[in-house]
Amino acid sequence: MSETPPEFSRCVERLRRFNRFYAPRIGALERNYLGLGRSLTEARLIFELSHRRGCVARDVARELQVDTGYLSRTLKRFEREGIVVRSRTSTDHRRVRVHLTAKGRYEFHIVNRRSREAMGQVIGKLTPSERRNLVRALDTVQRIVETSLTRDADAPIHPMPDPGVRFRP
């Protein structure tokens, strides 16, 4: 059974409202995410590289859904800063393998620690019951969104216009 356009629009607007509420609270909009002098995307890249030994840059771009050109420029800068080492794969010279250096692994530990501290501040004021409810709600949201993304992974996304919704920055 499909939803009616007003229900769909309300859901879209509610999700957008949550994103507007949550993004600034975790520092996602700051150029200096967690005081690291890096954007959230750059910090996430360091996080991903720490969990993938010798990964291929194109695979990371796909996983993070970032432009390969942006990723390439960022990795070049990281290499100049001594955070990563890049090398061509032996089987396909078009593919670039990326490894964190010791300096990169140290920066990952800083990213990870500060991120945990920031989340700790968010949930530290909650009661144990509120934390359990939050975790259940987050699990539910993730499960619903993952299901919808895998259900029609190959189907194109067509936004449903609703002339009754006005633009809100």
**Is residue 102 located within the same domain as residue 22?**
no
**Is residue 63 located within the same domain as residue 118?**
yes
Residue 166 has pLDDT above 50, yes or no: no
**Is residue 44 located within the same domain as residue 91?**
yes
Q: Check residue 76 and give its pLDDT.
A: 94
Q: Check residue 154 and give its pLDDT.
A: 56
Q: Residue 64: pLDDT band by 50, 70, 90 thresholds? A: confident
Q: Check residue 19 and give its pLDDT.
A: 87
Q: Check residue 165 and give its pLDDT.
A: 43
Q: Residue 74: pLDDT band by 50, 70, 90 thresholds? A: very high
**Is residue 20 located within the same domain as residue 99?**
no
Instruction: Evaluate whether residue 63 is within a structural domain.
Output: yes
Instruction: Evaluate whether residue 157 is within a structural domain.
Output: no
The total number of residues shown for the chain amounts to 169
Q: Check residue 136 and give its pLDDT.
A: 95
HEC string for the chain: CCCCHHHHHHHHHHHHHHHHHHHHHCCCCCCCHHHCCCCHHHHHHHHHHHCCCCEEHHHHHHHHCCCHHHHHHHHHHHHHCCCEEEEECCCCCCCEEEEECHHHHHHHHHHHHHHHHHHHHHHCCCCHHHHHHHHHHHHHHHHHHHHHHHHCCCCCCCCCCCCCCCCCC
Residue 85 bridge partners (DSSP)? 99
Q: Determine the structural domain holding residue 11 and report its residue range.
A: 1-30
Alpha-carbon gap, residue 127 to 122, rounded angstroms: 12
CB 109 within 8 A of CB 49: no
**Is residue 72 located within the same domain as residue 121?**
yes
Q: Of residues 72 and 152, which shows the higher confidence score? A: 72
Domain count, the chain: 2
Write the pLDDT tens digit of every residue in 109-154. Answer: 999 999 899 889 889 999 999 999 999 999 999 999 888 888 766 5
Residue 69 has pLDDT above 50, yes or no: yes
**Is residue 38 located within the same domain as residue 107?**
yes
